[in-house]
Amino acid sequence: MEIPYTVSARRDTGLFNSKVGIWLFLASEVMLFGGLFSGYVFLRAGVRPGVDLPWPDAVYVHGPFIWLGFLNTLVLIASSVFVVLAWAQLKMRRYGMYQFYMSLVLVCAAGFMVVKTIEYNSKLNHHFGARLSDGTLLDGALVADDSHHCPGDYVTFEADKAVFSLARTGIFRKLDPYFLDFAVLKGGEEMVVNAPGGKQLKGVAELSAWLEEYAAQNPREARVTAGFAKPVTFQFRRKDVFGKRVFPDRVPLFRGNELQGKLIDDTVEIEVHTVDLQMVRDEEKSLAWAYLGEGYKAGYEGHKKEKLNDPLHRRFLEKGGTLPGGQLRIWQHPHPAGEHGGEKAAAGGHGEASAAHGSSDGHGGHGAPVVSIKGSDIHFMGAHGPKFGTYYAIYFTMTALHGLHVVGGALVLAYFLFFGRKLYRKNPEHLANRVEVGGLFWHFVDLVWIFLFPIMYLM
């Protein structure tokens, strides 16, 4: 049995099967990316100024990424040209030239992914921001700390009591070992627990045995509280605790376990490149100045005046225009954010950095102020990864999906390149059809990028 019209076109539709198939598939891809673009528009239009995190048009974070995006646009356009040239060569039955152009396509695809990796790496590992409880947004970089791999979000807590959950969760009815895992990892191996009933339990093993026993004897109890013989100091990361929140007197852990005691330290050190006050009601009283010092406040005022005196701005304001929200409420370090290894200039130039909080001790290497922010002042913080607001969410989702399409398309085209000769000998037209269909997909991927570039990097 043979399926008709795999190579030649059916006369009334004028199409061979895989061409119908690929166009249908592309139609569904249009809806896929259409859905994502709709999400982009919906989220962006839904940003409530002053409440939600602003999108980057107002905050100028695109910086160097514009050039990476630009480069990738050119790379993809070139690859699109190469793929259609490869097809044309095949149609002219020049297999060697086909191989040449198809290899160029793959080189472009690899180049695209390399640039993408650089970009992701920079966003995920070098940019960091924190939204403070009054709405102030401090943006910059986490201060590197040799002792921890990922610094900044370490919390030290001195516990004198612990609540152990006895809930047997799930269908396996296991006692949840979470607390014990946590204790082992975070420095609790040495702990001594005073169990109710006067027993003293040393270390994790005894504790776990006792918990099992206790749970068996008290099937109706949900949790049991026990004190430590002497306070135990735990050091852990916020992501290890439930809801990523610690309180001055307690740390909720997963599945209803809890530590009680005293919070020792949960400060976060940030090298500040940008202060964004769009979400703050009263700029004068922003927490930023408490951390950075009055010198920076003066700098901010100066910057604002400067902006208003800028001829372009002034002309626009005189014509009755209003500046978009963020323009006037952002102060940026004069040695701009984004690239590390800038010059080692003295801090600011806007008066003295607050000696108490700020220092330019060479962490970042370009003189931006460094502040230690109390955990309780932080509403939300993170690297410029997908978590950091809806812009980053849609940026990473869309570019990653697009990247997957690039990889998928490249794999298919590589298959045609490296394993095409046999089919070419048998039926060159069949190979040409396949390359045409693969090429259609590749052009579509390019087409998506043509829209992604301006909306993700330029606006």
CB 91 within 8 A of CB 69: no
Does 11 bind other proteins (CB under 8 A)? Our answer is yes
Taking the least distance from each CB to other proteins, the nearer of 312 and 346 is 312
- Using CB under 8 A, which of 38, 117, 121, 200 touches other proteins? 38
Instruction: Report in angstroms how near the CB of residue 263 gets to other proteins at its nearest.
Output: 11
- Residues 328-357 touching other proteins, rule: CB under 8 A, are none
Asked if 12 is part of the footprint of other proteins (rule: CB under 8 A), the reply reads yes
Segment 235-264, which members bind other proteins (CB under 8 A)?
A: 240, 242-245, 247-248, 254-256
3-state DSSP assignment of residue 58:
helix
Phi then psi for 379, rounded to 5 degrees?
-90, -40
Using CB under 8 A as the binding rule, whether residue 155 contacts other proteins is answered as: no
Task: Map residues 180-219 to x or -, x wherever contact with other proteins holds by CB under 8 A.
Answer: ----------------------------------------
Quote the CA–CA distance of 412 and 32 in Å, as a whole number.
Answer: 20
274 is a site residue for other proteins (CB under 8 A): no
DSSP secondary structure of 245-312: ---SSEEE-GGG-EEEEEEEE--EEEEEEEEE-TT-S-GGG-HHHHHH-HHHHHHHHHHHHHHHHSHH
Binding of other proteins by 418 (CB under 8 A) = no
Interface mask (CB under 8 A) for other proteins, residues 68-97, using x and -?
--x--xx--xx-xx--xx--x--xx-----
| Choices 294-302, 350-358, 377-385, 418-426 (CB under 8 A): range interacting with other proteins | 377-385
Binding to other proteins by CB under 8 A, coded x per residue (else -) over 119-148, reads ------------x-xxx-------------
Is the Cβ–Cβ distance between 131 and 268 less than 8 Å? no
Q: Looking at 37-45, 108-116, 151-159, 413-421, which segment touches other proteins (CB under 8 A)?
A: 37-45
Residue 370 CB-density burial (10 A; 0-12 exposed, 13-18 middle, 19+ buried): buried
Distance CA 440, CA 412 (A): 12
DSSP annotation of 54: P
Euclidean distance between CA atoms 441 and 373, whole angstroms: 49
51 lies in the site for other proteins, by CB under 8 A: yes
Quote the CA–CA distance of 435 and 90 in Å, as a whole number.
9
Of 61 and 347, nearer to other proteins (C-beta) is 61
